[in-house]
Amino acid sequence: MPERISTLLNVSNSALESKGAFDGFLNIDSSFHVDPALLDNKSIPEFRNAYSEFQSYYNNILALISGSVKNGDKLWKEAHKRLQCKEMASTALGYSKNGTKGKGIGPRLAANILETASQIVKAGIKDPVIFELVGVLEENIGADRISDMTIFVLLPRFAEYSQRVCRELKVTNTRKHFVGNNSYFLPWNKSTNKPVYLIPKKILNFLPIASDWTEIEDVISYNAALRNRVNEIVSKGWKNIAKLTKAELKKLVLANPELLIELLKLYKAKPKTSYDFNKDPLGLVKWASLSENVAADYPLNLTQHQTVTSETIFPIVEKICNQFATLIENNGWHEHLYSNGKLRHERASQLLFYGIAESYCEAYDFDLSREPNAGNGALDFKISKGNKAKVTVEIKYSRNTNLLNGYTAQLPAYNKAEKSNKSIYLIIQTTKAIPTVNRLLRIQAEAQRKGERVPEIIVINGQKQISASKRR
């Protein structure tokens, strides 16, 4: 199963979470980020006045920009240097599709941010909060990099917090590590030979820090007055606001700084609430504990497959997929696809399958990898035994607008890139009407009639009213 921080520390999940620390995964992404707006949490001793320190850091950068006479002078170079931050690979938050490594901000990206910040300062705006919203205007900036920026600036606080929690839990797996000029005893990951920084749950969020103008309505309660103002400006030669590129949006905002001022105002007024880990509305955490004992509670006999070859691995994976279908349809696991009656994001179903499949794969010594970089998009899973026996599994909701394209274009490309033997297209039916699914089945039948090699289709009824699955 995925290794959690609690396992690394040799403590229970409940013990670690009793200290308010996020029990993240060391080998898969969890898609949480440190939200700067949540930093000033007085209940965490190490983070008192943290937001002030964070803002002070970027206020100093704004001062350097203001004092710079021209690009490339001493103050400009210093601002450029301070905008760079290293990748934060040891926080077990994880955003990358290829692991739990952050992205950081290198010289080129820092130069882009600096140029944009300079133009904003020239427009008369000198608010450090602009750096929290830089993802609205800059390509390749999202919640992951904002989070890395935050941790980078406040790393000594995270080190101090990690050290205290480990001491209180009497963790022995720690090593002395320097952060700046100060040393801390931090939990150590022997497989990477690097420290792991613990993160308080109270400063974590899932919702993106506005990295796209179209996300603003969800993130900062984007109001009608601002929308009307934007539409008024956009109608004067601009295309639809939702279709603007970030470069076009930057040009729009810099030409109309009152939009940015209003955006800053709304962002500051947004409710400062962290992710609810107890209810886990997005299904990003509980899947791990749910699937921990699934192989023991719902045994799946795969002993007849003693020798796994390129010919015999497909029925093994097919059995695992059908077992997932049985759990969803007949054992009440469909409930985990919903939160308060609302269907969770597709990602929740993928994580649930991952946990269940991993439980069986671990029992029978198969390898399960998630979202490898195959060169043709994001592959959900690849189950393998050695180099020659591989099966890829792609999971989608029936309502996914890319459902048809995922079958006709993506999976064959995945097969070529991963050199897989076969593929399974796992569709979770989320509505009664399934015209796209029926179209897929017709496409599959026609391809099979022509003797073409096509992915297998398994349709699982994930609706609240459970009925038998339809399989092909």
* The pLDDT of residue 302: 77
- Report how far residue 393's alpha carbon sits from residue 233's, in angstroms, rounded to the nearest whole number: 46
- Mean pLDDT on 379-400: 80
Rounded percentage of the chain residues whose pLDDT exceeds 90: 39
Q: At 433, list the tokens.
A: 């009407």
Q: Is residue 178 predicted with pLDDT exceeding 60?
A: yes
Where is average pLDDT lowest: 261-265, 305-309, 328-332? 305-309
DSSP track, 357-425: HHHHHHHTT-EEEES-B-SSSB--EEEEETTTEEEEEEEEETT-TTHHHIIIIIHHHHHHHHT-SEEEE
* pLDDT level of residue 385 (50, 70, 90 thresholds): confident
What is the pLDDT, as a whole number, of residue 244?
Answer: 65
pLDDT band at residue 470 using 50, 70 and 90 as cut-offs: low
For 330, residues 6+ apart whose C-beta sits below 8 A from its C-beta are: 466
Residue 117 CB-density burial (10 A; 0-12 exposed, 13-18 middle, 19+ buried): buried
Instruction: Determine how many CB atoms are found less than 10 A away from the CB of residue 166.
Output: 24
State the pLDDT confidence band at 3, using cuts at 50, 70 and 90: confident
Does pLDDT of 468 surpass 70?
no
User: What pLDDT score was predicted for residue 312?
Assistant: 77
Per residue in 150-164, pLDDT (tens digit) is 999 999 999 999 999
The distance from CA 100 to its chain's CA centroid, rounded to whole angstroms, is: 9
pLDDT for residue 46: 96
> Is the pLDDT higher at 380 or at 105?
105
Per-residue pLDDT reduced to its tens digit, 401-443: 888 887 877 667 666 666 666 889 999 999 887 888 999 999 8
Compare 378 and 110 and report the one with higher pLDDT.
110
Contacts by 278-281 with C-beta closer than 8 Å and gap 24+?
279/339, 280/339, 281/339, 281/340, 281/344
Give the predicted TM-score (pTM) of the model.
Answer: 0.81
pLDDT grade for 64, boundaries at 50, 70 and 90: very high
CATH code for the structural domain at 286-471: 3.40.1350
For residue 360, what are the contacts with CB-CB under 8 A and spacing of at least 6?
294, 295, 300, 302, 320, 323, 366
Q: Which of 117-121, 279-283, 332-336, 381-385 has the lowest mean pLDDT?
A: 381-385
Predicted confidence at residue 377, as pLDDT, reads 40
What pLDDT score was predicted for residue 220? 35
- Domain(s) labelled CATH 3.40.1350 in the chain stretch across 286-471
Which pLDDT tens digit goes with each residue over 225-260? 545 555 565 555 444 555 667 777 778 778 888 878
What are the residues whose beta carbons fall under 8 Å from the beta carbon of 203, sequence distance 6 or more?
34, 35, 38, 39, 41, 44, 47, 274
Please report the pLDDT score of residue 335 as a whole number: 93
More confident residue, 114 or 413: 114
